[in-house]
Amino acid sequence: MYELTQDDEGLYRRIIKVDAKRNFVVFGMRKSGHHAITNWITNFHIPAIHFNDCITVNNKIYSTVERLYVDNGFDNSIASFSRHERRGSKQDEDNYNSIFKFVKDNKLETNIVTFESKEFLTNKDVISNNIDNITFVVVLRDVFNQYSEPRHPINHIWKEHAKLCLGNINTDVDIIDVSFNSWFSDINYREKLAERLGIEFDSCIDSYSINEVPRPGASRFDSSNFNGNAQKMGVLSRYELYNNIEEKIDNEMVMLTKEYFNFVPDRFKSMLGG
């Protein structure tokens, strides 16, 4: 059963209980591509609930947005958008009721819980105490394209995620690392990732998902004109359009990118040191 309540965290609803056979908990920086990958995972597990942009406070988990996916694709979902002025509105309440009426009448086996630009190590224990049957996923985008986005991430959190993906930080939980670069560009990588995630790979669902822009009309990767044709977006070469990325990153971040992605554009190689 799924229960949510609104309490003293204002725009956030507290997740009282998350009970499912599979719970994917996904960490990624803002604009890391983790929403695209979450969409991809979700499309293999319809129907599913996505608890988006979560936080932990006082050993509890809160979400800002809950979405129920009842068919492949965002346009066929029943969504409760719970941010800002829409929290508590009639539309929000109607969507909220629709979600949990569906949950009451139908069996859901999968939850997706996402944490955006949040530290993994300071949140994992609270998550583990509140959610069972977890598959932890950390999504990483190379630092050059990551920092070409309008809102660049917090350096120390990006570094933590990079070190987790490289296995340089010891944790007491298993983590599945995901390279957004490889996921976006390589179907063989996605097939192997599906196997690691325990997903039965379906090429039709994959083809649909990889060309879908998450939240059409709202993605900052590119215009919603690319929805259905996302592979034509220049998300792996966006850094070429900006000349101030060097001011936002440091040598360690370049080294971590080289180690994980084996990728450093010529203009950044001077930051690798001797």
pLDDT grade, residue 29 (50/70/90)?
A: very high
What is the per-residue pLDDT across 205-246, written as a single tens digit (0 to 9) for each?
Answer: 898 888 765 543 344 444 344 344 444 446 888 888 888 899
Helix 155-166 to helix 251-261 angle (10° resolution) is 30
What is the per-residue pLDDT across 98-144, written as a single tens digit (0 to 9) for each?
Answer: 666 666 666 677 889 999 999 999 999 999 998 888 999 999 999 99
From residue 15, give the alpha-carbon distance in Å to each of 100, 128, 224: 13, 13, 31
Helix 203-210 to helix 34-43 angle (10° resolution) is 150
pTM of the predicted model, to two decimals?
Answer: 0.84
Provide mean pLDDT across the span 33-46: 88
Q: Say if residue 272's pLDDT is above 80.
A: yes
In this prediction, residue 132 carries a pLDDT of 84
The conformation of residue 181, written as its DSSP 8-state character, comes to: H
In this prediction, residue 97 carries a pLDDT of 66
Please, what are the domains in the chain?
Answer: 3-272 (3.40.50)
From residue 132, give the alpha-carbon distance in Å to each of 2, 8, 192: 13, 25, 25
In this prediction, residue 133 carries a pLDDT of 87
Q: Say if residue 147's pLDDT is above 70.
A: yes
Provide mean pLDDT across the span 82-93: 51
